[in-house]
């Protein structure tokens, strides 16, 4: 029960930070040209993202885009909750699932409230420009990296078998 309370509190904090920063972006960047945080590398620019991450969904007809994106987001959340309940438990799994769920909820709230997601973090170097993103996107990305590390290094069936043989 204590783990669930910690996870729920972490999700509330992370989603709140995401929504607060998006509101800050709307108030401070929407009517400006943005500004450099680190010249030549990092800017804050206001972008309304009507698609999925990295522009996925641009080919969908407008009348179907939002319902499909919302349904996909909700299904991903349900899948994550089921996965979190059934997967072998570890601190890395809980952490990765918590930040992924937080990102999904933050962007879902934004989509339901605005019809789009507010993005504002813009990383670039010379002619290379990373797609503009927000904290929720960063949560999902970091969570996926942590999940990958969990499966690659800590949840490998061969390593688990070797560990089981060593302890028997």
List, by residue number, the catalytic residues: 119, 137
**Pick from 75, 51, 64: which is nearest to 133 by CA?**
51
Dmax of the chain from CA atoms? 66
What are the tokens at 1?
């029960």
Cα separation, 74 vs 68, whole angstroms: 10
Residue 97 · residue 146 · CB < 8 Å: no
Helix (H, G, I), strand (E, B) or coil at 51: coil
Cα separation, 100 vs 141, whole angstroms: 8
Q: Could you give the angle at the alpha carbon of 11 between the alpha carbons of 118 and 99, nearest 5°?
A: 75
């Amino acid at each position: 029960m204590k783990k669930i309370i910690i996870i729920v509190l972490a999700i509330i904090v992370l989603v709140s930070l995401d929504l607060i920063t998006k509101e800050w972006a709307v108030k401070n960047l929407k009517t400006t040209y943005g500004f450099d945080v680190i010249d030549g590398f990092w800017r804050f620019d206001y972008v309304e993202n009507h698609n999925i991450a990295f522009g996925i969904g641009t080919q969908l007809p407008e009348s179907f885009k939002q319902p499909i994106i919302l349904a996909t987001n909700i299904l991903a959340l349900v899948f994550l909750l089921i996965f979190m309940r059934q997967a072998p438990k570890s601190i890395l799994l809980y952490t990765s699932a918590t930040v992924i769920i937080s990102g999904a909820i933050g962007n879902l709230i934004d989509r339901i409230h605005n019809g789009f997601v507010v993005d504002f973090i813009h990383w670039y170097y010379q002619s290379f420009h990373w797609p503009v993103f927000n904290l929720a996107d960063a949560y999902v990305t970091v969570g996926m990296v942590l999940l990958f590390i969990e499966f690659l290094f800590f949840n490998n069936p061969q390593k688990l078998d070797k560990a089981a043989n060593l302890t028997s």
